[in-house]
Structure 1
Amino acid sequence: MIHPGAWLKRLAPQGLLARSLLIIVTPLIVVQLVSTFIFYTSHWDTIAKRLAQGLAGDVGGVIEMMRAFPDPESQLRVMRIAANKMDLDIRFHAGGILPNVPPPKTLGIMEASLYDALGERVQRPFMVDFTSFEREVPIRVQLSDGLLEVFVPRKRLFSSTTYIFVLWMIGTSMLLLGIAIVFMRNQVRSVRKLATAADRFGRGLEVPNFKPEGAIEVRQAAHAFNVMRERLKRQIQQRTEMLAGVSHDLRTPLTRMKLQLAMLGEIEGRADLEEDVHEMERMVEGYLAFARGEGSEAPEPAELGALVEEVAGRFRREGRELDVHVESRITLALRSHALARALSNLIGNAFRYGGHVWVRVVRLDDAVEVIVDDDGPGIPADKREQVFKPFLRLEGSRNIATGGVGLGLTIARDIARGHGGEVVLEDSPLGGLRARLRLPA
């Protein structure tokens, strides 16, 4: 059973503009409904009764005057007065008999009010025809000596305030809604610009000419974003400069050690010492590459398939079996050197544990994926997130040849996230591990 709150959340619009308009329109519609209900139950009902009573009083007065002055000349004078002063067209049919027709079963507010008023003021058998004529309503009253027929203009029974009220409600509502849409679009535009700027900065792209605008709260958020961006830039610059010094300081003693080993000549244990030095160099390069994060490279349009083929070519030249399939030509804003390093890490990790590797580039609706499959033993599902931690190796030894430094997947995910994407690990249909690198299209 779906909870009512979840059901309402599904029906509610997702966009800020739509939700803001819903907040404005909902009370407006409620006010309109309440106003309409009050109008039709009080004002319109009162107007209908008063119009019906006025008309019934005129008809009853005409009947009483005709009874008081029964001579033909006086009755004609009464009819002329009714036509000129009361807007009533009266015709008398001597000896006429009212048709025996029952009143309609369903009546509106005006019809019911007129029936009640005629029954109270006339106190004689009568019949009202609301359907035969478009502009007039015939009222037939049975008198003792004949049938009195009164033709009443419909405007005496209906008030134009009803239509004016409805048009006023609709017109003002549309006007207010239009003004609300214009103002809300301007407010939402500033929020969208801030979201776009944050997304571009999160992907490592430049955000030129971004300035705070909109409401005070949005301006505060935009100002905080600018301050955060400048701080991050300074931190990256300071880190890069620091790492350049660290790289120089670490490489200098290693170079000196290599020279000393070369000058020692052939002595016992020299090969082991050289291997240790080379291992230290590889470790230092790996640590520096991880800390540097390739953050200094600017994104430029590049063809992803060509980049994948270039990386695959390096492994083929080493004699590795690698199948590459690119579905279509895909051009994205990429840090080509950084992404090539991420792809090399993923493919190299697959070759480290598998004998054959398959690489596919797939275009989706809102993203592009590079899928790397291998036929190795894979990684248990409960440990797939752990392998992205720096320096963590599932392989127990510290031998770089068998397990690496433990930074390959970490660097690959860091580079992917720098592009606004992600790297996830799954079971491969080929029996090994699948690494899925997703980039926004």
Structure 2
Amino acid sequence: MLRLLASLYFFVFFSIIAINQSSEYIWKNWGNQAPSELGYAKQVAVNLRDVLNTVGIDNYPEKNNLNIIHINDVAWFPEQRAALNNDDVVISFDSNDNYQFFMLLNDKSTIVKLGPFAPKPNSILTKYTFKLVSFSILALLLILWLRPLWRDLEQLKIVTEQLATGKLDIETKPSRFSAISTLTQHIQRLALQTASLMQNQKQLVNAVSHELRTPLARLKFALAMLAPKDPQQVQAMNQDVVEMELLIDEMLSYARLEFSEREMTRKEVNFSELVQAQIAKTNTSSNKQISHHLEPNVFVDGNDHYLARVIQNLLQNAEKYGEQQIMIELKKDNNDKIILIVSDDGPGIPEEKRDCVFSPFTRLDSSRSKETGGFGLGLAIVTKILGWHNGKCWITDSHIKGASFHVSLPISERLKLN
């Protein structure tokens, strides 16, 4: 960052100096016409002095229009006095930048004064055109300085977009002339390492899926062969094997979510029908009283498969920990959001632990442990899927003495326009 600021400071500093010096030279020689104007007027004064010396001042027809003074009537600077004695024309300026000429005739005592004359005003268009050109040159130089920086920032944008969408074949083309080239190289190296880690994770998930399932299948087969000898012991071992299979399935399901977003297709989804379908599915296997109030035809933009997984996980969570009843409510708020509320009458969740339950493998206490099913990944999956859909989930106390899970999602863009 220090290198970037120093580079920008010195570039602007020296560019302004160069442009100012060039502008002053060009204005003095081409833009400002005052020197040529004075030169022309001075030549006219010299010609008049020669005429007066030739014909005599008393014989000059326009004598009455001349301003004639004695040389001693003016307090001359030494250099001005010397210039007059050398037959030079002395030019002086007043406080309004008006100029006047003084000429000494051959008698060395008579001074003819011409003026004061107002200088010819410079064209306003020329003046501002000259300024515009100067600032345009400075802007062009800044663009040349910023171009490598802009290219590096575009490279970083492409790298981050590739990582976000799961593309691991990252190619980079850093610029050697950018002020942040070192930073860019570090970030790109980090991106390549991240891509490598993601690739290794993907390979690990695939390996676990195959390598763990194979010995578990052999173990289940061996337990089936041993069942007649010790049924109770074999049954307990079978339960442990089933639990390991469920844990592996949950872990693989959660791990695969890391690579699912780039493959996810989006469309307009009738969220009301999606919730109704999941409630019907839960009703077939639940012994609890499920009541609901759903606003009809609530649409969101997203993937119906993953949104259904969110609803399913929340209903399963309420089914596990609720005692007698589950309540579901779906409505729209005033901020172009839909709100889904799933409440149960279970033990509830302490306020200080509500953020923790969305972390993977989190189980709070004995009332919410593996004995009731699950491994602490259901709500973590909910959080990840909602993140893909610009949604969020939070927990409050339920009015039926348990926990209420609130889900917020943006409504469909089509409904916003209506």
Shift of 1:381: 2.4
Q: Pick closer, same or farther for the CA change 1:380–1:344 going to 2, 3 Å.
A: same
User: CA shift at 1:248, angstroms?
Assistant: 1.9
The SS at the match of 1:293 is helix
1:212 alignment counterpart = 171
Alpha-carbon distance in structure 2 between the residues aligned to 1:394 and 1:286: 20
Amino acid paired to 1:310: A
Answer whether contact 1:392 1:406 (CA < 8 A) is retained.
Answer: no
Q: Does 1:345 align with 2:313?
A: yes
| CA deviation after TM superposition for structure 1 residue 314, in Å | 1.6
Tell me, in whole angstroms, the C-alpha distance in 2 between the residues paired with 1:364 and 1:180: 48
Matched, 1:287 2:247: yes
Distance across 1 between alignment mates of 2:111 and 2:377 = 110
Partner of 2:13: 30
Take 2:102 and 2:52, find their aligned partners in 1: how far apart are those partners? 13
Q: How does the TM-score come out when normalised to structure 1?
A: 0.56
| Identity fraction in percent | 13
Give, in whole Å, the separation in 2 of the partners of 1:185 and 1:96: 68
The question of 1:301 aligning with 2:271 is answered no
Q: Is the 8 A contact 2:216 2:241 kept in 1?
A: no
- The answer on whether the counterparts of 1:343 and 1:412 sit within 8 Å (CA) in structure 2 is no
Kept after mapping to 1: 8 A contact 2:310/2:385: no
Amino acid at match of 1:405: G
Amino acid at match of 1:411: G
When normalised by structure 2's length, the TM-score is 0.59
Counterpart amino acid of 1:345? N
Say if 1:126 and 1:141, in contact at 8 Å, map to a contact too: no
Report the Cα distance in structure 2 between the residues aligned to 1:378 and 1:427, rounded to whole angstroms: 9
CA distance in 1, matches of 2:43, 2:56: 20
Distance 2:200 2:343 in 1: 41
2:107 maps to none
CA distance in 1, matches of 2:334, 2:148: 36
2:199 corresponds to 1:230: yes
Deviation for aligned residue 1:215: 0.7
Alignment equivalent of 1:195, drawn from 160, 168, 173: 160
One-letter amino acid of the structure 1 residue matched with residue 142 of structure 2? L
Count the aligned residue pairs. Answer: 358
CA contact (8 A) 1:372 1:436 kept: yes
After superposition, the Cα gap between the structure-2 partners of 1:198 and 1:368, relative to the gap in structure 1 and judged at 3 Å, is: farther
C-alpha distance in structure 1 between counterparts of 2:379 and 2:290, whole Å? 21
Aligned to 2:208: 239
Equivalents in 2 of 1:398, 1:321: separation in Å?
Answer: 26
| Structure 1 match to 2:77 | none
The alpha carbon displacement at 1:238 in A equals 0.4
* Alignment partners' CA distance in 1, 2:225 and 2:246: 20
Instruction: Determine helix, strand or coil for the equivalent of 1:320.
Output: strand
Compute the displacement of 1:236 (Å): 1.2
> Which amino acid in 2 is paired with 1:346?
L
After superposition, the CA RMSD in angstroms is 5.8
- Could you report, residue by residue, the CA deviation over 1:163-194 in whole angstroms, capped at 9, with x for unpaired residues? 89856643432323344455444332221121
Say if 1:140 and 1:148, in contact at 8 Å, map to a contact too. Answer: yes
**Unpaired stretches in structure 2, ≥5 consecutive residues:** 70-79, 105-109, 176-184, 413-418
1:61 Cα deviation after fit: 6.2
User: Are the equivalent residues in 1 in contact too, given 2:338–2:408 (CA < 8 A)?
Assistant: yes
User: Which residue of 248, 255, 277 maps to 1:310?
Assistant: 277
Distance in structure 1 (CA, Å) of the matches to 2:338 and 2:204 = 31
Tell me if the contact between 1:327 and 1:361 (Cα under 8 Å) persists in the aligned partners: no
